[in-house]
Amino acid sequence: MPATVHDVDAVPGLSEAGKKVYRDWLTRKPPRAFAIADDGRVYATWGGRPRNTEEPSDPAERAMARCQKRAKAKCKLYAVDSRVVWIPE
C-alpha cells in the first residue's frame, strides 16, 4: 500500500528535526510542496505568493528551486498538496 501524506514515518531519510518540519508543513493549507535532498535537508513551501518575488509562485517549483540552490545534493519532491509524489529509485 502506498504511503499517505500524513504518515510521517514513511517519509524517507528524515531526521527528528526533518520530521518536525514535515509535521508543521502538514498543518499548512494547499498549495504546498515538500522536497528532500539526498543529504537529508528538507524544503517545505506553501502558498502561491512567495516573500521573495524572484522565486516561482508554484510551491513545487519553489521547493525544488530552494533545494537545488541550497543543498549540495540531489533533490526530489516528496509530496504536493495532499499527495505523495515520491518515486523510489
10-residue block means of pLDDT along the chain (89 residues)? 88 95 97 96 94 93 94 93 92
pLDDT at 72: 82
State the pairing for strand pair 83-84/42-46: unpaired
The whole-model pTM stands at: 0.94
Q: Is 28 left (phi over 0), alpha (psi -120 to 50) or beta?
A: beta
Q: What is the pLDDT of residue 1?
A: 60
Q: What is the pLDDT of residue 21?
A: 97
